Amino acid sequence: MSATGHDDHGHHHKETFITKYIFSQDHKMIAKQYLITGVLIMGFIGIAMSLLFRMQLAWPGESFPVFEALLGKWAPDGVMDADIYLALVTMHGTIMVFFVLTAGLSGTFSNLLIPLQIGARDMASGFLNMLSFWMFFVSAVIMVISLFVEAGPASAGWTIYPPLSALPMAQAGSGAGMTLWLVSMAIFIASSLLGSLNYIVTVLNLRTKGMSMTRLPLTIWAFFVTAVIGVISFPVLLSAALLLIMDRSFGTSFFLSDIFIQGEVLHYQGGSPVLFEHLFWFLGHPEVYIVILPAMGIVSEVMAVNARKPIFGYRAMIASILAIAFLSTIVWGHHMFISGMNPFLGSVFTFTTLLIAIPSAVKAFNWITTLWKGNLQLNPGMLFSIGMVSTFITGGLTGIILGDSTLDINVHDTYFVVAHFHLVMGISALYGLFAGVYHWFPKMFQGRMMNKNLGYVHFWVTAVGSYGIFFPMHFVGMAGVPRRYYENTAFPMFDDLTNVQVLMTVFAIITASVQLVFAFNFIRSIFYGKKGPLNPWKATTLEWTAPQEHIHGNWPGAIPHVHRWAYDYSKTYENGDYILPGQDFVPQHIPLQDNEEELHH
């Protein structure tokens, strides 16, 4: 699709309801489809599940009418069953990691922003893009259907380690529920690959004139590198899933060996569950960066816009993204220090893991410096960006403990891990997502804006609540409480931790309820949100030059050309005057002014 050939694009397609809202090939519509399916619907299900099992943890064995209403036969007399507890934990993890934070976050913002910020009419292939969304939709439907299987959904943990996930005799959830889980994930991976390839091609080929790689906004860099990691690592998860399907259904022994269960010896011989762990984490670890990098990109952009300052260390930020991406593919073994793999491998993975702290630290310092001497416009998106840096630091620092093979021995698989990754990738990625939604809502919904006061309520309650849930959780982990325990009453030594569990659950309920404020604000603003100006946040990037009304092809006339990087905020001449009189930013499509120096960055 060349820029010149489409100058009078816009009105000559006859769009039906189906081509416009359902099988749309327009990246802006697909972005909204991802947002609503991935974040709003799947996010609601995932968070609701976490509340159910948090209630069980705080008040073990207690009867709640809500359990009976939602879980039916899995909660006789309102008391949660141990099998469904594991199922809830498993499905919460699966849904949040894959459906909300991978597809929901990347799918929404890569689709929305890549064409708009690089100055392209649409994605390289609109059809593949549509296919990618609908495959995601099908996989989400299958995953939701699996919740209703008679023997229960998958319940071997979101990491589905065999043999537990491979043998229906080991656990009820490893029957039809696990089959559907694997089918859903296989489709999900195909969808993710189609999406990622499209993002990569679009960023490489469809940048407008003047938009060199070093003028790209950091959002695009983050989405681009995320897509690359996805293409490298998701196929490995697919192979793990396929081999697991073979072991489950066709009697192969890739992951199984020497098993005696329920009074009989099974025929499996020679396989190794450790092999599965390697394959799983070869995706699984890059996966957490697939989740966090887009959030980092969004935060970098939103923070620079609202600080009215260039992002500090643009090139260092790109270098960190690349370093994180590279290192992320060689650290997976830190999930397996005590899996039985060779301890020497553990040493290697400790080394690479602690190395990844360096680019992460650089990013955090650069964000903090971006705030220094800024003129901070504390919009909800900006607050979520600051919040993201805060939780990323808090959560990231404990990674120093978990990444150290020695220290991992005693906190592995305890609540310490749960606290760590929820802060560093769960909450941080969600904050990035929220920052993006508040910031680009006007771009998604024809200039309508979300209510800022509801946004402030949403942010502050969430910020306090998230720390309230996950900060005390570190202590539970360091007391030695293992994760994925249905209740801790079998160990008297954990009795004095019940009140911490209650505290965390109370915070979880408050924090989850305030997400309803966000949902309300979001849905209401689609229809009744006030229309803001074309460029409400006074940003330099190209998406704000496109008209509020969505048109196919994004710009009615020629695509704007780019003459500068994306961060000319508060740039002045030597005499202290802004480059453009009366405004503290210079959009990317404005040519260099007389006497203006293109500063080295």
Partner 1 sequence: MTALLTLTVLVLVAIAIWQMTKIFELSQLKAENAEIATDSDNKYNGYLLFGFLIFIYGITIFSFAKYSKVLLPEASSAHGGEYDQLMWVSFAIIFFVQFITQALLHYFGYKYRGEEGKKALFFADNDRLEFIWTIIPVIVLAGLILWGLYTWTNIMEINDEDDPLIVELYAQQFNWTARYGGDDNVLGDASVRLIDIDRANVLGLDESDPNAADDILVKELHLPVGRKVNFMMRSQDVLHSAYMPHFRAQMNCVPGMITQFSFTPTVTTAEMRLNPDVVEKVKRINGIRAKKAAKGEPNSDPWEFDYVLLCNKICGKSHYNMQMKIIVETEEEYNKWIAEQATFKETIASVE
- For partner 1, the closer CB: 21 or 491: 491
Instruction: Assess 596 for contact with partner 1 (CB under 8 A).
Output: no
Number of other CB atoms surrounding residue 523 within 10 Å: 13
- For partner 1, the closer CB: 68 or 487: 487
Burial class (CB in 10 A: 0-12, 13-18, 19+), 202: buried
Instruction: Assess 406 for contact with partner 1 (CB under 8 A).
Output: yes
d(CA 429, CA 322): 18
Number of other CB atoms surrounding residue 19 within 10 Å: 15
In the set 40, 322, 407, 519, which binds partner 1 (CB under 8 A)? 407
In the set 15, 249, 351, 446, which binds partner 1 (CB under 8 A)? 351
d(CA 395, CA 393): 5
In the set 145, 204, 409, 558, which binds partner 1 (CB under 8 A)? 409
Instruction: Assess 79 for contact with partner 1 (CB under 8 A).
Output: no
Residue with tokens 């229906």: 168
Could you tell me if 114 and 120 are in contact, meaning their C-beta atoms sit under 8 angstroms apart?
Answer: yes
Residues 490 to 529 in contact with partner 1, rule: CB under 8 A = 490-493, 495-500, 502-503, 506, 509-510, 513-514, 517, 529
Could you tell me if 187 and 143 are in contact, meaning their C-beta atoms sit under 8 angstroms apart?
Answer: no
- For partner 1, the closer CB: 446 or 499: 499
In the set 2, 12, 18, 270, which binds partner 1 (CB under 8 A)? 270
By three-state DSSP, how is residue 521 classified? Answer: helix
- State the number of CA atoms in the 13 A half-sphere of 225 facing the CB: 29
Sketch the per residue contact string, 427 through 456, with partner 1: x for CB under 8 A, - otherwise: ----------------------xxxxxx-x
Instruction: Assess 245 for contact with partner 1 (CB under 8 A).
Output: no
Q: Closest approach of Cβ 203 to partner 1, in Å?
A: 23
Piece of the chain touching partner 1 by CB under 8 A; list 217-225, 244-252, 278-286, 562-570: 562-570
Instruction: Assess 471 for contact with partner 1 (CB under 8 A).
Output: yes
Q: Closest approach of Cβ 129 to partner 1, in Å?
A: 30
d(CA 79, CA 68): 7
- For partner 1, the closer CB: 11 or 530: 530
- For partner 1, the closer CB: 186 or 371: 371
Residues 366 to 405 in contact with partner 1, rule: CB under 8 A = 366-369, 371-379, 382-383, 386, 389-390, 393-394, 397-398, 400-401, 404-405
Contacts with partner 1: how many residues (CB under 8 A)?
A: 149
Instruction: Assess 574 for contact with partner 1 (CB under 8 A).
Output: no
DSSP 446: T
Number of other CB atoms surrounding residue 481 within 10 Å: 22
- For partner 1, the closer CB: 18 or 265: 265
Residues contacting 307, CB < 8 A, separation 6+: 370, 371, 374, 375, 376, 377, 382, 569
Nearest to 588 by CA among 290, 289, 304: 304
Piece of the chain touching partner 1 by CB under 8 A; list 34-42, 215-223, 238-246, 486-494: 486-494
Residues 410 to 429 in contact with partner 1, rule: CB under 8 A = 410, 412-414
Instruction: Assess 489 for contact with partner 1 (CB under 8 A).
Output: yes
Instruction: Assess 258 for contact with partner 1 (CB under 8 A).
Output: yes
Nearest to 311 by CA among 299, 322, 323, 320: 299
d(CA 74, CA 62): 14
